[in-house]
């Protein structure tokens, strides 16, 4: 099953934010979206997750129109991590992660278990009883990541699950960047379809099964990172001269600027 | 670290409320021993005069204080959650400012008719306040609602605009009032429970029970809303529906409160804040605990209002702030020490 955008366009206040974009996010695969600032990456995520309605075209979740899923059922299949979350009430970390269990009726014991496991997975067990409002940017982002992980912790009988991440690693140090990529890979292996916006091309090259390059509201290229990342494309899209090499260990493309 | 577990705080408040209510029965211009008070409540009458004071004056007044305090504090908690702003209070949706204009209009235009002109036992001022509050909330809600849903930010701004307009109308009405009307208007705006009757208690009681039984359904939705509206939607919450329901319930609750007791300030703003500092922002506990604490505060404030200037009485609303503000400051200082 898939999350599918069929020929979508988005016009807002006289601007064409997205034009004729078709995108298929497969379950069990990692799709990375890259592109310059203002290219329409976040708008695409908003349309894919139903935060915005496309001016033209349709979005499907597991072959049913996205807006025809009841909200609660949709929430059991699709978890979304926004770029910023403005939470200025003093929840503790485990309470924040617990919010991810709202769409489920698994009972408090099971939920507590999932919350503890999710926090441990993102290396945030030590934050459990700390106040969200007193955490550093990276700690907050890890707790939010744990929240969306807790939301799709168990597979759903309704259909395949999807996780949408908008720049999940922007506040992370090297080790937590790697941790995030490992988690994303684990989820994909479990059958979850992951879509993420990333800024670091090398990060994208390392984790993506499908790399989507967006420029000026249209898809400039998509496919496996090896095929997509070429010196001409980087020059065209980012206006930067780069050399494409190969990572000595992962054998993935390595962009050197 | 939080200083209280939510269960413990609610437990303490549940025990505290009947204790302060009983204490409140005993104080006033005529002191009544707590044995007599307890006896009267459980049916052993000890004298007609004491019975009259207890059942016709003090008991309705205490019950009114409990219901008004509970509704103001719990709607305050709901509004702060809905607006994701710990400084929000029920007046933000325009209900208090509208009610204030409604009451002033009645005092000024129907001046002479107020004492006599009671409609089914409710004064014209009460009815004016309720209608004014209802209309103002409707206006604020309409201004903030478009095809895209209700914008909380626009609602906040619309509430401020309507509040300013209402303030101006109030000043205008005060300007044209004579001394007696002016005194009535300003007393009404201080909030007062002295007009308690069994009719007011029954109406207020029904509203309080309705709110307290409906709010828990939306506690989890309010928790999710603290993350943001889009985040709440992704957690399966029908945000527009939740907003509409909570605003309607708050307008009803606060509208009836101001109709029976005038503008009792402070309880709706600070009580949820105090409780949040003690047990955290989880609305499943915050709403009931705020309601109980608001009831306790208003009963204590009203008891003091009756005794500090015997044989006269102070308006209750004056005392809620005098009592609550220092407590709040202590909590803030304590929190600053912890950080």
Question: Would you say residue A152 has pLDDT above 50?
Answer: yes
Is residue A82 within 8 Å of A164, Cβ to Cβ?
no
Out of A216-230, B8-22, B169-183, least confident range: B169-183
CA distances from A197 to A3, A33, A207, A214 (A): 16, 5, 12, 10
Mean local confidence (pLDDT), B127-153 = 85
How many angstroms separate the CA of residue A36 from the nearest CA in chain B?
A: 24
Is A177 an 8 Å CB contact of chain B? Answer: no
Domain A2-256 fold: Rossmann fold (3.40.50)
Q: Is the pLDDT confidence value at B119 over 70? A: no
Chain B, nearest residue to A81 by Cα: B231
- Which of B1, B226, B277 to probe the A interface (max A CBs under 10 A)? B226
In this structure, how many other beta carbons lie within 10 angstroms of the beta carbon of residue A123? Answer: 14
Task: Test B235 with A99 for CB contact under 8 angstroms.
Answer: yes
Give the percent of chain A with pLDDT over 70: 100
Is A108 at the interface with chain B, CB within 8 A?
Answer: no
pLDDT of residue B325: 82
Mean pLDDT of A222-243: 92
Query: Over chain B, what is the mean pLDDT?
Result: 86
Beta strands across the sheet bearing A15-26: A15-26, A2-12, A56-61, A64-65
Range of weakest confidence among A20-29, A70-79, B3-12: B3-12
Residues B268-313: tens digit of each pLDDT: 988 998 899 889 999 999 999 999 999 999 999 999 998 888 778 8
Q: Contact A240/A61 with Cβ under 8 angstroms?
A: no
Is there a domain that residue B197 lies in? Answer: yes
Q: Is residue B1 domain-resident?
A: no
Q: Do A85 and B231 touch (CB under 8 A)?
A: yes
Under an 8 A CB cutoff, do B84 and A86 touch? yes
Calculate mean pLDDT across residues A54-68: 94
Segments in chain A forming alpha helices (H): 41-49, 71-77, 93-99, 108-121, 137-151, 174-190, 201-207, 225-228, 231-238
B284 and A CB contact within 8 Å: no
Is the model's pLDDT at B3 over the cut of 80?
Answer: no
Residue B132 lies in a domain: yes
| Pick from A99, A129, A134: CB nearest B223 | A99
Task: Provide the percentage of residues in chain B whose pLDDT is more than 90.
Answer: 40
pLDDT for A142 equals: 95
Give mean pLDDT, residues B182-207. 88
Cα–Cα nearest to B151, from B229, B88, B85, B89: B229
Average pLDDT, chain A: 93
CA atoms within 13 A on the CB side of A227: 9
A219 interfaces chain B, CB cutoff of 8 Å: no
Q: Residue B116: pLDDT band by 50, 70, 90 thresholds?
A: very low
Residue pair B283/B219 in contact (Cβ under 8 Å)? The answer is: yes
In angstroms, the separation between the Cα of residue A119 and the nearest Cα of chain B is: 18
Partner residue facing A87 (CB), from B220, B226, B339? B226
Contact A149, A122 (CB under 8 A): yes
Residues of A in contact with B7 (CB under 8 A): none
Write down the residue that tokens 């095929």 correspond to.
A227
- Would you call B280 and A91 a contact, using CB atoms and an 8 Å cutoff? yes
Q: Could you tell me which of A81, A106, A231 has the C-alpha nearest to residue A164?
A: A81
Report the alpha-carbon distance of residue B247 to residue B318 in Å, rounded.
27
Q: Does residue B227 form part of some domain?
A: yes
Chain B residue with the nearest C-alpha to that of A87: B227
The pLDDT confidence band at residue A100, using thresholds 50, 70 and 90, is: very high
Say which CATH number the domain at B233 has: 1.10.3470.10
| B117, pLDDT greater than 50 | no
Report CB contact under 8 Å: A80, B339.
no
Residue-range definition of the domain harbouring residue B68: 6-338
**CA A43 to CA A50: how far, in whole Å?**
10
Residue-level pLDDT at B156 = 85
Domain coordinates of chain A in residue numbers? 2-256
Is B99 in contact with B263 (CB distance < 8 Å)? yes
Our CA-based measurement puts residue B28 at a distance from the nearest CA of chain A, in whole angstroms, of 41
A89: chain B residues, CB-CB within 8 Å: 84, 86, 226, 276, 281
Structural domains of chain B, count: 1
pLDDT value at residue B110? 74
Name the one residue in this structure whose structure tokens are 């004579």. Answer: B178
Confidence of residue B45 (pLDDT cuts 50, 70, 90): low
Distance between CA A104 and CA B75 in Å, rounded?
27
Question: For residues B33 and B94, what is the distance between their CA atoms, to the nearest angstrom?
Answer: 43
- Report whether A128 contacts A119 (CB < 8 A): yes
What pLDDT shows up at residue B95?
87
- Which value does ipTM take for this structure? 0.93
Q: Does any CB of chain A come closer than 8 Å to the CB of residue B281?
A: yes
């Amino acid at each position: 099953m898939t999350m599918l955008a069929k020929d979508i366009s988005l016009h807002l206040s006289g601007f064409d934010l997205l034009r004729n974009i078709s995108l298929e996010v497969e379950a069990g695969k990692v799709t990375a979206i890259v592109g310059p600032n203002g290219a329409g990456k976040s708008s695409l995520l908003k349309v894919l997750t139903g935060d915005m309605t496309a001016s033209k075209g349709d979005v499907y979740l597991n072959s049913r129109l996205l807006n025809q899923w009841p909200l609660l059922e949709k929430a059991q299949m699709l978890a979304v991590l926004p770029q910023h979350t403005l939470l200025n009430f003093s929840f503790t970390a485990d309470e924040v992660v617990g919010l991810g269990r709202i769409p489920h009726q698994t009972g408090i014991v099971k939920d507590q278990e999932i919350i503890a496991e999710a926090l441990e997975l993102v290396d945030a067990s030590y934050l459990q009883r700390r106040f969200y409002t007193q955490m550093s940017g990276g700690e907050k982002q890890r707790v939010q990541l744990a929240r969306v992980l807790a939301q799709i912790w168990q597979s759903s009988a309704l259909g395949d699950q999807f996780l949408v991440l908008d720049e999940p690693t922007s506040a992370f140090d090297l080790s937590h960047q790697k941790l995030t990529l490992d988690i994303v890979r684990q989820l994909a292996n479990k059958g979850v379809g992951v879509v993420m916006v990333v800024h670091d091309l090398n990060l994208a090259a390392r984790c993506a099964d499908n790399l989507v390059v967006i420029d000026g509201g249209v898809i400039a290229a998509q496919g496996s990172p090896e095929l997509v990342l070429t010196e001409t494309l980087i020059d065209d899209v980012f206006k930067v001269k780069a050399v494409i090499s190969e990572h000595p260990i992962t054998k993935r493309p390595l962009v050197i600027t | 670290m939080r200083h209280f577990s939510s269960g413990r705080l609610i437990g303490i408040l549940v025990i505290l409320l009947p204790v302060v209510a009983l204490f409140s029965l005993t104080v006033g211009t005529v002191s009544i021993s707590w044995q007599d008070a307890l006896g009267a409540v459980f049916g052993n009458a000890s004298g007609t005069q004491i019975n009259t004071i207890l059942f016709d004056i003090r008991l309705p007044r205490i019950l009114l204080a409990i219901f008004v305090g509970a509704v103001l504090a719990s709607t305050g908690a709901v509004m702060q959650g809905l607006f994701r702003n710990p400084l929000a209070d029920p007046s933000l949706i325009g209900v208090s400012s509208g009610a204030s204009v409604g009451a002033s209009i009645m005092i000024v235009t129907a001046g002479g008719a107020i004492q006599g002109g009671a409609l089914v036992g409710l004064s014209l001022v009460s009815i004016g306040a309720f209608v004014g509050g209802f209309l103002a909330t409707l206006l604020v809600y309409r201004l903030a609602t478009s095809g895209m849903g209700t914008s909380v930010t626009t609602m906040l701004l619309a509430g401020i605009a309507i509040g300013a307009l209402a303030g101006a109308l109030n000043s205008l009405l005060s300007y044209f009032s004579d001394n007696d009307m002016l005194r009535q208007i300003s007393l009404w705006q201080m909030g007062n429970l002295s007009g308690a009757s069994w009719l007011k208690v029954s109406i207020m009681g029904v509203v309080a029970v309705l709110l307290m039984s409906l709010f828990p359904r939306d506690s989890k939705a309010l928790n999710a809303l603290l993350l943001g509206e889009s985040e709440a939607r992704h957690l399966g919450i029908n945000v527009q529906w939740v907003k509409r329901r909570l605003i309607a319930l708050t307008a009803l609750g606060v509208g009836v409160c101001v109709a029976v007791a005038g503008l009792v300030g402070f309880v709706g703003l600070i009580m949820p804040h105090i409780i949040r500092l003690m047990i955290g922002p989880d609305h499943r506990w915050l709403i009931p605990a705020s309601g109980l604490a608001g009831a306790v505060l208003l009963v204590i404030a009203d008891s003091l209002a009756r005794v500090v200037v015997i044989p006269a009485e102070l308006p209750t609303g004056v005392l809620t702030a005098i009592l609550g503000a220092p407590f709040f400051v202590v909590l803030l200082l304590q929190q600053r020490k912890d950080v």
